Every structure is written in structure tokens, then in C-alpha cells.
Amino acid sequence: MPVSDYDQASLPDLLPLYYRRLFPFAQYYRWLHYGGVHKNYFQNREFSFTLKDDIYVRYQSFTTQSELEKEMQKMNPYKIDIGAVYSHRPNQHNTVKSGSFQALEKELVFDIDMTDYDDVRSCCSAADICSKCWTLMTIAIRILDRALREDFGFQHLLWVYSGRRGIHCWVCDEAARKLSVTARSAVAEYLSLVKGGEETLKKVILSDPIHPFIKESLLVVERYFTRYALHDQEILSRKETLDKVLALVPEDILLKELQQDFQNEKKPEIRWKLIKDQALKKQATNKKGHHFEKEIMLQYCYPRLDVNVSKGVNHLLKSPFSVHPKTGRISVPIDLKELEKFDPFAVPTISLICEELDRPIPGEVEEKVDDKENEKDATERRKIRDYKRTSLAKYVKYFDQFLDGVARSWKGELLRKSDLQKEF
Amino acid sequence: MQFPSRRKRLINNAQEEMYGQPIQFYGQPPIENISLSEFETFAVERLKLLKTIENLGVSYVKQSEHYARKLESEFKNLHFPYREVDDRKVQTGPSEFEKRRKDHISHFILRLAYCQTEDLRRWFIQQEVDLFRFRFNELGSKQKLEFLHRNNLQYDTINVEEKKTLLDKLVSSSYAVSGITVEEQDFYKVPFQDALDLVRTRKVYLKAGYVYIPHQDIITIVINDFRTRLSKALALTARSLPIVHSDERLQPLLNHLSHAYVGQDYSIQKNVGKISLEQIDSLSGKSFPLCMKQLHQSLRENHHLRHGGRMQYGLFLKGIGLSLEQALQFWRSEFIRGKVDADKFDKQYAYSIRHMFGKEGRRADYTPYSCMKVILSNMPSQGDYHGCPFRHSDPELLKQKLQVYKVSPSGINQILELVKGMHYQLACQKYFELTHNVEDANFSLNHPNQYFVESQRLLSGGVREPKREPETPHKTKAPSAAVEVPEVIEDLDSFFQDA
């Protein structure tokens, strides 16, 4: 059955099935428990749920994996958000003396939303996305992933598809979780190059010296620019988009000359080369605004992130493996090794995977349940195999690999701690 | 015998260790006995210094020449250390060692007073950071290094190999870094969390979580370190306050310090009887600060004021020269127009007015409230008209009020900017300048009665006093430490009684 069979009205039927048989609770708990290195890390974590009829509940918290499972299966949330690890159990925050209840730690997060690029994409707008503009997300991931790893030294990054029109990044390193508000905003500012809203024409301005971070980011953009901007978005081919690009060229460049050349030259690559040549000429004179060809590339391609999402320690962000109510798609982690092949339209929807649950897999033998003792084990085993029958499998597997990496870091911590306590 | 002199030398060495530089991180609290009077004096003088820093910081560009000169003269006046001194030069007044000791002790005393609320902490940290920045910049480069090492800022320097490898990246990361800089200066590897300002503006090379900073820029790091340490220390101090407050000698002083006003207190009435009740309405329009204007207006309109308003306004009126008889008549005639009859007034309200003039109870002569006191204590609530309009009024309402009083739109904007920056007294001073049509008020506003006096002086075409340094108590006496101190302690006494 086609994936587009998803209908928001069927959520109340699909969600119970999803939470009972598909949601990867074990992995989820393994992630947020972080090896138990810090006491009560999982217990003091805030979750928020959006229930049917838009009822929103905050300050949910759970003491064990099984409690989390039971509650979610009871409430069947339409949306799940993850918040911070607090000083006390969030579900008891009203009993705490005012001022004492504080958000202490949280992963460093980034949220890239396609609507923030509406002024530079011509294929879609608002909530729509297509394969042409999805390249912007690919570029964003490449640039930010490199910077967070090589510049900031972070190692455990989880990139997640939001389910509709964007991506999130969860930086799970211990150092990242401990960052203050000021530090988070500094990191986000370091990563921001596109500034300005509706009123600003020129959103990227570069001055000498060009910082190594910008140079590295430009290298990434250059790899995609011809295919994405010149061909897919046709920024130099169509009149309206061409005019917008030329508006970013400094005034003293002989626009008339360029426009004349463009009369004779229709091929976008050649047109771009002509613009670059002008830029080179200007750089030779070393006057202001002599990086305009770079500025154009960045304005059209560089990641636009919302600093406010990254700043707050207590900011709530959509959870991985949450369902997007409008599209039905699961927020799945993205394997960067397969980034070029990632297709948001191929991401499984909740209706697809629920349907796949009942499809028999060829060659599978039904396990016989002998007695009650084995029944519980069998249920567990069946649950574990359940998601494996579905398209969700590969995403959970990737999530497991990610968690293996994170585990290596907190295992080291645990060893260190037990050494200090002289345990054997 | 050799022993005494050796011991003396040892002690001196220890002291030199502690006070080896004119600047410190205040990591170790002082552990000696001091007299209560030294305790008070040190604290008050440091407070004056910090207030100067606040005022100068708003009036001048920090680190500019004007700023530096004015601040230096304040250091000299108050005997605080600010730079390395040539030992060979003959010292007059307290020795460098004594100044540094005072610096050390006074800082810790003020911590006790300023750790109690978020507002106080923020103010204290801001001024101490500015003070630190100024003094650190005054150090020579060798002394800066020495300071870092003394304080365990073990930021590692990178070796020549690494410098060569990173040369291009280092040069292209910062406008200020050239190939020569890399060659000649040490570069420090600092965790990025300690250099957020440089990271945020991308003015530095960042690799694997470390920023590479030339020696010349290490100041930003050090300042942030200072700020963080102080912030943590204040939080800790707040927790041990109950113990400190249980010492009866200290509690009133500490409370006073955090509301401190360190200038003239207008308690000595100079103009008793010179003002007639008929003049008050017109005086309120011309020479009252906004807070008192507001109270007067509300009194006229409602024929009543609540206790907070009566205290603030009543003491102010006393300060401008109303006698007790006049005050009684003033309040009585107004209240009677309201819901209070003559009998009730005499029974309930007259007592408290006489109390204000020191004719009842402890017979303490209450002093009119300073701006600090108005701003910080006794927040007004619904139905109250006291407080400072620049602090307590909603900015929209404040704007409307200023429009009614015919302040120009650009003037209103300037005032609102100052309010946003929490410089309430400067906002009021700006209001003074705009309503009296002068460029520069030529005084530093700290007291509502001061506003009145200055306004009257201006309006009567009086001779303008040459601009004084802020916080000089008496305008007639020559500023000198010996004269200032008794004046201030007198003020403290009256506050003890107030409590």
C-alpha cells in the first residue's frame, strides 16, 4: 500500500499500536539514562506530551523504563518533546521551594527549518519540501556536523529528521550537556552567518580576514552549488530569481555590463563564471565588498538556525521517534554515511509501519507458546522482533550504533568512578 | 639574637606573598582581627569607589582617557591600590601594603552585604569586574603573566612546531593577529567555554574545543574567570549569611551598606521656616523630583497617602525646610478634605508626623530618604504612590507622565534608555537637565532633597558650584579623608536607630 495512505484521523487507532509494539523503548531509555553515571539523570528529565485535542502537558517524568512505557501506552501522545534534566523530579516541581527547581543539563540542540529559507528557494514555500530544496538540509548537516566535531570537539551527534520540513541535531557529549545558556548562545552565534529578516536584502557580509570556519563552510557549499543553485533552483536562469541575485552584487560592479553579457549567455554555469570573474577583478583592487560571490553562495545555501532553540537549557524539542501528526512520518535518526541517499519522502509513516507489522515475513516460523512462563519472554521477544519487521528497523539499528558510541564515553566515566571507590 | 628578626622577615614574606600585586582574585578571605571602626570605614570607602566606577562607566567610554584620569584620582583620594608602585619613591599617607590590605578586606565585607539578592549581586559583580578590568590593564605584560601563574590559570602555551603548523589558520582567524604576532607572542590553548565572547564573534581560531589566544587577548579570559569565580563565591556567601547576621554588631551595618547612601543626609535642617505652605504647589511643579511630584499630586487629588508615601514625602518636606508646625498643618488640612475628620487626624496621623521630627518615641530625628533607599526598599504596591517612578513605574506610564510634563520626545527616549539600563538616578538627573533646560546638571544625583536644592539654586540664578567628584559629602569643606569619615559614621548611627 502506498505510503501516502496516512490520514491524521486514524492516529487514535495507530498510536496505541505504535507505542505498544514499535516504539524502541529500550534504546530510548538506554540513551537518556546515560549509563547511570549521574544519579537520577533519567528520573529528573522533563518530557512533555501533546495529547488528543491539542491538550498539552508539561513536567512529565518517570522513574524507570517500564513506567515510561506504561504511561505512554496509557496516554498515547500525538507528540513527544524532551526537555532538560532538572534538580528535582519534574512531576514534583510544585512541591519544591520556589527558586530551587532549576534546569541543570540538556543536550545541545539545533533546529533547521525549511521555511527559514523561503526567500531563497523557488521550488517550494512554507511547509512544502521537495527533493530539490532538500539539498539545503544536506548542506546544513555537512557544514554543522563538521564544525561541531572539528571546531568544538564534540563527538556524539544525533541528526534527526523532524518529520515534515526540517532537521534537528542532538549533541549528546557530556561537555555539551553541561553548557550554560551563555555558552550555548555563543556556539549558535559562531555557527550563524545569515543574518537579517524581511527587511534585509544582503544577509551575509564577509570581511577580511576570512575565518577558517567560513572557508571550510564555503568548501561544502561549493560542492553543491552548481547542481543545487544553478540547476535545481535556477537562480540565474529565471528573471525574478536572477534579479534577486543581481541585487546582492555591489553597486559599482558594472551591472549593465553583466546584464548585457547575460543577453548573449544563457547557460547558468557561464553566467556564474562571469559573476565570479567580476568578483576576482574587485578583489584585485581590494575595495570593500570584494567577497560578494562568496556572500551570494552563502546567502543561498548556508544553514539558517534558530538561535533561541539552541540557547535555552530548558527548551523543549521534539523527540526522536515521535510521530509528526500532519505527515504521519516518524522522526527518524539520519545515518550520515547514507546522507546523499536520504529521501524524506521515503521515511516510513506510522500507518506504513503499523501495516507492515501484520505482514508475514517469508520463511518465518510462528513460535509456539508453551506455558505462561515463556509467554512473557515470548512477548518481549516478539516485541523486539516487531519493529524489525518494519521499515523502522534500519533506523533503530542506526540509533543502536550511535548509542554504542555514547556508551563508550560513559563507560570510561563509570570505570573512573569505580576506581576511585576502589571497587572490584 | 637572630630569631626575632628572622621571624619578622618570615612574616613579611608571607604578607608580600598575599599582597604581592596591586590586584587579586580575592580567592582567600582575610584572616585577621580588625576593629569595628576599621570594618565600617573600609566598607564604606570601597562602596564609594564602586559607585564612582558605576557613574563613570555610564558617563564615559570605559578605558578612555577621561575615564582613566577620573578613576585614578578617586583611587588616590580613597587610598586604594591600582598599579605597581616604585618602592623607591617616598610614600605619603598609607603604604602600598596598607592599601592592598584595605582592598582585600573591604571586598570581602561588601560580599556579605551584596550577596543577598539577585539585584545586589548583579550590581556588585558588574562594578567589581569593571574595577578588575581597569587594574589588570594597568599591569605591565610581565606582571600580567605573573598574575596568571599566581592564580593557577594554567592555560598552556603551544610550542613552536604547533605554531608553525597553525600559522595560516591563526592569522586568518583574527584581524589583530599577523604573522609577526604568531612568531613573537605566546599563544595559549584555552577551553572554548572560557572564551565565549571570542567564540561568539568568531574572532579566534577554534579547534577540537580549544581556542588559540595570543597573549595580548588573554584579558578577556581572565575577566570572565574573575566574574565566574565571584558569582560562585557570592552564592556561597549567601548561604552562610544567617550566621553572620546573628552577630548584632554586624547586621545593622551590613543592611545599611546594601542600601547605602554615602553623602549629605539633609538631616540638619538649614532652611526651617523659609518655605511657606502656599509655595508648596508651585515648588512641586518647578523643583520637586518626579517621585515627590507624584506623591504631592496624589495627596492633593486623593486627600490621602498611605504610610510608605507619608514617610517618603513627609521626610522630604522636612528636608526642604518645613517645620513641625507647618507639617502638621499641611497634612491635616489635606486629610480633612478627604475622609478623615480633625479628631481622627489628631489621634492617628499627627503622632507619626511628630515621630518623623523626632518628637515622639525614641526621639530619633529621622533622615529624609536617599535615592538608594527609595529605589531599593519598600516596593510600592497597588494603591501606593511612593517609590522611584523611574524604577517602579511601568515604562509606558512613565512615558505618558513625561509627555504631560512636556519633556521632548528625544528627551523621553534618552530617559527610557537609561531606565532600561537600570540607571534610575541618572534617568532622574536627565529629567532634571531637560526640565531645567541645562546641558549638564553639574552634580551627581543621589538624594531627592539634593534635587530640590540644586533646582532652587539654578532657578534663583545662583552661582554654579564647580563640578564635584561624586559622593563628596559637604560642599563647603575641602574634601579630605579625615573630614569625610566622621560625617559618614554619623549617618550610619542614624540608620542603626532607624532599624
**Model confidence at B499: pLDDT above 60:** no
Residues B446 and B359 in one domain: yes
Q: What's the CA gap between A254 and A267, in Å, rounded?
A: 20
Is B428 one of the annotated binding-site residues? yes
Residues in B closer than 8 angstroms to A186, CB to CB, are 196-197, 199-200
B24 and B123, same domain (yes or no): yes
B455 with B328, same domain: the answer is yes
Q: For residue B482, is it within any domain?
A: no
Strand duo A103-105 + B187-191: pairing: unpaired
Looking at the fold, whether B95 and B233 belong to one and the same domain comes out as: yes
- Closest partner CB to B192 (pick from A152, A180, A211): A152
Nearest-CA distance from A214 to chain B in Å?
Answer: 10
CB contact under 8 A, A150 and B192: no
C-alpha cell of A88? 528535582
Does B182 map to a domain?
A: yes
Do B179 and B98 belong to one domain?
Answer: no
Q: Smallest Cβ distance to A211: which of B192, B202, B207? A: B202
Confidence at residue B153, expressed as pLDDT on a 0 to 100 scale: 73
Residue A210: closest C-alpha in chain B:
B172
Q: Is B346 on the interface with A (CB under 8 A)?
A: no
pLDDT score recorded for residue A215: 96
- Yes or no, beta carbons of A186 and B205 under 8 Å apart: no
Domain CATH number, residue B19: 1.20.930.80
Q: What's the gap in Å between the CA of B181 and the closest CA on chain A?
A: 15
In whole angstroms, give the CA distance from residue A321 to residue A333.
8
More confident of the two residues B409 and A379? B409
Higher pLDDT, A397 or A387: A397
Where b means 16+ CB within 10 Å and e means fewer, A38-59 reads beebbbbbbbbbbeeeeeeeeb
Residue B475 falls within a domain, yes or no? Answer: no
Q: How is residue A257 written as a grid cell? A: 555590463
Q: Give the residue, B202 or A260, on which the prediction is more confident.
A: B202
Residues B401 and B290: beta-carbon distance below 8 Å:
yes
Please indicate, yes or no, whether residues B127 and B76 belong to a single structural domain of this protein: yes
Q: What is the mean pLDDT of chain A?
A: 89
Question: B146: which strand partners?
Answer: none
Q: Find residue B157's DSSP bridge partners.
A: B188
Q: Does B220 touch chain A (CB under 8 A)?
A: no
Chain B contact set for A150 (CB, 8 A) = 207-208
Confidence of residue A289 (pLDDT cuts 50, 70, 90): low
Q: What's the pLDDT score for residue B7?
A: 47
Facing B207 at nearest CB: one of A151, A183, A214: A151
B115 assigned binding-site residue? no
Kindly give the pairing relationship between strand A56-60 and strand B205-207. Answer: unpaired
Query: In which element (H, E) is residue B77 found?
Result: helix B65-78
Q: Mutation target for B interface from A180, A189, A190: give the one with most B CBs within 10 A.
A: A190
pLDDT for A32 equals 97
Say if B82 falls within a structural domain: yes
B200 has a chain A CB within 8 A of its CB: yes
Domain-ending residue, one of B194, B217, B240:
B217
In a domain, B5, yes or no: no
> Is B210's Cβ below 8 Å from some Cβ in A?
yes
Given CB atoms, is B192 within the 8 Å cutoff of chain A?
yes
Tell whether B348 and B423 lie within a shared domain. Answer: yes
With contacts defined as CB-CB under 8 Å, which chain B residues touch A154?
Answer: 209
Question: What is the ipTM score, two decimals?
Answer: 0.88
Q: Cβ(B144)–Cβ(B218) under 8 Å?
A: yes
Q: Which residue of A has its CA nearest to B193?
A: A183
DSSP state of B266: -
> What does the pLDDT average to over B15-28?
79
Say if residue B16 is in the same domain as residue B88.
Answer: yes
pLDDT band at B259 (very low <50, low <70, confident <90, very high): low
Question: Which among A191, A314, A98 has a CA at the least distance from the CA of B200?
Answer: A191
Give residues 192 to 211 of A whose Cβ lies within 8 Å of B: 208-211
Mean per-residue pLDDT, A250-271: 81
Tell me how many domains chain B contains: 3
Residue pointed to by grid coordinates 516541581? A93
Cβ separation of A185 and B200 shorter than 8 Å? Answer: yes
Q: Which residues of B touch A214 (CB under 8 A)?
A: 202
Interface test with B, best of A148, A187, A194, A205 (most B CBs within 10 A): A187
What amino acid occupies position B432? Answer: F
Residues B170 and B209 reside in one and the same domain: yes
The per-residue pLDDT for range A159-178, each reduced to its tens digit, is 999 999 999 999 999 999 99
Whether residues B205 and B230 fall in one domain: no
pLDDT digits (tens, 9 = 90+) for B160-187: 889 899 998 998 888 888 888 888 887 8
Least confident of A49-63, A64-78, B12-26, B463-477: B463-477
- Per the structure, the complete domain to which residue B418 belongs is given by 277-459
The domain boundary residue, chosen from B217, B233, B267 = B217
Q: Is it the case that residue B366 has pLDDT exceeding 50?
A: yes
Q: Please check whether residues B107 and B211 belong to one and the same domain.
A: no
Residue B428: inside a domain: yes
Q: Helices (DSSP H) in B81-117: which residue ranges?
A: 96-114
Q: Would residue B1 count as lying in a domain? A: no
Chain B CB contacts of A192 under 8 Å are: none
Question: Could you list the active site residues of A?
Answer: 46, 111, 113
Please give the helix or strand (H or E) that residue A131 lies within, else none: helix A131-146
| Residue A59 Cα, gap to closest chain B Cα (Å) | 26
Is the CB of B197 inside 8 Å of chain A's CB atoms? yes
Q: What is the pLDDT of residue B66?
A: 78
Contact B148, B69 (CB under 8 A): no
User: A186 — contact with chain B (CB < 8 Å)?
Assistant: yes
A151 neighbourhood in chain B, CB within 8 Å:
206-209
If asked whether residues B186 and B287 sit together in one domain, one would say no
pLDDT, tens digit (0-9, with 9 covering 90-100), for A13-22:
999 999 999 9
Among B269, B284, B383, B365, residue whose Cα is nearest residue B330: B284
B272 part of a folded domain = no
